[in-house]
Homo-oligomer: A and B are copies of this chain.
């Protein structure tokens, strides 16, 4: 369905071969050029200016938005969770829920949305638009029924970026007897009906909202004008993202794009961001730059792969703990207070004015 969620599950009685593992590895860690590396470095270029004289005896990282009430403003990006664990998105959902974080469920889940939702509780449903719009309706109806609180419409994958090498091998990755090949939500739908749309239009935002009655978050915006257009077309939020550095290799990083998008949106809807978020301080940097919440991708996939639901929960709790400590050290007891922090980019001359002496 989508390179981002290409699913494949070995049966319980079958392990992946070394070659399979290498293939999965290449897919999970793959990126275009230097984009993923620059995403991480992009956050390091921002330095925080902490505040003092604040009451930080109790820190709250609690966040609510899009019908979710989370322990931290952290959601798990729609990624290939089903590719790295036999129990796929269900296993992931267990860990995410235990940690109190949010799930953005990939449309290409290896389990049907209802089966994931019974584990996850409220969630956001990611959507890849198909050329035949109505091919999505039955699936979206099931997502609504399953308790999706919002849609996350991916708009930045008009063409395939980083894909599984030897894509033909995907079938091999799937276990004998597996119910589906990354297509759990579209069993029986003719593949031709599921051809992805390369021409996503602003009107599709309203179309999806009308059909589902859910708020639609637009995921994959970097240019401020696109963010504004999406908001004016009815988007309930935007996610600043370069798709984990997997699409355009020469792209701006999300840490570079965020401030201008925030300024353009002007508070009309929440702005989220993903790409290169690796520690609690990165979350805080994003919040100070105006993000409402962040999405994490690869760190979640790695933790799920290494430790299943428990490993993922531990990774997310560590991230939340880091955020809590960073907030305490920065003098901001809750998410609303972050706007009072200062922040400085490495390209900025640290002068009060631009008139240095001599």
Contact = CB atoms under 8 A, between A and B. Distances in A.
A229 interface: yes
A225 B57 CA distance: 21
Interface residues of A, number: 80
A117 interface: no
Interface stretch (A69-77, A79-87, A133-141, A251-259): A251-259
A105 interface: no
A222 B49 contact: yes
A32 to B, nearest CB: 8
Interface stretch (A186-194, A195-203, A307-315): A195-203
Interface stretch (A92-100, A152-160, A169-177, A269-277): A152-160
B344 A252 contact: yes
Contacts of A50: 156, 222-223, 242, 247-248, 251
Nearest to A46: B250
B358 A341 contact: yes
B226 A52 contact: yes
A151 to B, nearest CB: 16
Given A56-B159, A344-B356, A326 B223 contact: no
A252 B221 contact: no
A329 B159 contact: yes
Contact of A53 (B200, B288, B347, B349): B200
Interface of A: 33-34, 38, 44, 46-57, 155-156, 158-159, 161, 198-202, 218, 220-226, 229-230, 242, 247-253, 255-260, 262-264, 281-282, 284-285, 288, 325-326, 328-331, 341-353, 356-358
